[in-house]
């Protein structure tokens, strides 16, 4: 049924997106040049002298950085395409931050093979869950600059998680720490009807997709 339905008189216009670029837009998404803002509550504003970042959970030793220490970690500037579950995609966005490989270097994950999940905790109470396999080996960062400027609070500043290959709700804003755990636990949107994994190329928007 759904395959054959045609919306009477609908032409669409997004084919104006360049053909090569179009291959970078997952199904059901459209390209935007703006940077829309989405969040479920007010924007938290934690002063930098009270900001820190922790890695803890079912691991031998916790790690913690102050804002100053965090800025001294090796940084990377990179380009990524991002895909929001509300249908917009934004191509070639430029970010600067610290790779999760760097952050997790002090955790001996190989000695704890059954610790396979990460829960991101954020100011404002937001959480999201990710398999460790999805955030290791150059796939995820904690970023603090967008387009060469400090990340604005409404976009998740001072720092947000960035996991470009999954829907953007997994790239948690205002991130303050990771809990590493054996058992997966759905986060904020994952318990409010959204998909537990969120692969945009498989269009995993909602639970059951």
Partner 1 sequence: MAQQLKWQLGTVVEIREETPKAKSLILDLPEWTTHLAGQHVDVRLTAEDGYQAQRSYSIASPPEDKYLMLTVDRIEDGEVSPYLTDGLRAGDQLELRGPIGGYFVWDARNKQYDGSPLFLAAGGSGIAPLMAMLRHRANSGATVPTRLLYSSRSYEEIIYREELDRLSANDSSLRVIHTLTRRRPADWTGYGRRIDMAMLADTAWSPAEKPLAFTCGPTALVEAVADNLLELGYEPGRIRTERFGPTGG
Chain positions contacting partner 1, by CB under 8 A: 1-2, 5-15, 27-30, 32, 34, 36-44, 86-88, 124-125, 154, 188-189, 191-193, 205-209
- C-alpha–C-alpha distance, residues 124 and 48, integer Å: 15
Q: Are 77 and 92 contacting, i.e. CB atoms less than 8 angstroms apart?
A: no
Q: Which two tokens stand for residue 119?
A: 């829960």
Find the shortest distance in angstroms from Cβ 3 to partner 1: 9
Do residues 160 and 151 lie in contact, with contact meaning Cβ atoms separated by under 8 Å?
Answer: yes
Residue 194: CB minimum distance to partner 1, A: 8
CB of 128 to partner 1, least distance (A): 13
**Tokens 């404002």 map to which residue?**
124
Q: DSSP assignment of 32-73, as one string?
A: -SS-----SSPPP---GGG-EEEEEESSSS-EEEEHHHHHHS
- Tell which residue, 170, 51, 48, 47, has the closest CA to residue 120: 170
- Check if the beta carbon of residue 166 is closer than 8 Å to that of residue 130: yes
Cβ neighbour number for residue 81 with a 10 Å cutoff: 18
Nearer CB in complex with partner 1: 47/113: 47
In the complex with partner 1, which residue's Cβ is closer, 164 or 187? Answer: 187
What would the two tokens of residue 38 be?
């989405």
Closer by beta carbon to partner 1, 2 or else 111: 2
Closest distance to partner 1 from the beta carbon of 56 (Å): 23
Instruction: Using the minimum distance from each CB to partner 1, give the nearer residue, 57 or 153.
Output: 153
β pairing state of 63-66 and 76-83: unpaired
The smaller minimum CB distance to partner 1, of residues 8 and 50, is found at 8
Q: Minimum Å distance from CB 203 to partner 1?
A: 9
Output 43 or 102, the one with its CB closest to partner 1: 43
* Pair 63, 106: CB distance under 8 Å: yes
Question: Least separation, in Å, of the C-beta of 170 and partner 1?
Answer: 16
């Amino acid at each position: 049924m759904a395959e054959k339905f045609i919306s009477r008189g609908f032409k669409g216009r997004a084919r104006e997106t360049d053909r090569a670029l179009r291959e970078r837009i997952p199904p059901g998404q459209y390209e935007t040049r703006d940077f829309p803002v989405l969040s479920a509550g007010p924007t938290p504003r934690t002063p930098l002298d009270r900001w820190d970042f922790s890695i803890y959970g079912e691991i031998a030793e916790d790690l913690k950085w102050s804002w100053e220490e965090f800025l001294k970690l090796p940084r990377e500037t990179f380009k990524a395409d991002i895909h929001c579950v509300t249908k917009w995609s934004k191509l070639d966005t430029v970010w600067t931050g610290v790779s999760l490989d760097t952050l997790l270097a002090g955790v001996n994950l190989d000695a704890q093979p059954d610790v396979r999940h990460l829960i991101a905790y954020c100011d404002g109470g937001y959480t999201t869950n990710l398999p460790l396999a999805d955030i290791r080996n150059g796939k995820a960062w904690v970023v603090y600059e967008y387009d060469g400027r400090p990340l604005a609070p409404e976009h998740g500043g001072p720092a947000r998680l960035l996991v470009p290959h999954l829907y953007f709700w997994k790239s948690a804003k205002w991130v303050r720490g990771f809990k590493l755990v054996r058992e997966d636990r759905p986060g904020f949107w994952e318990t409010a009807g959204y998909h537990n994994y969120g692969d945009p190329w498989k269009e995993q928007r909602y639970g059951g997709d």
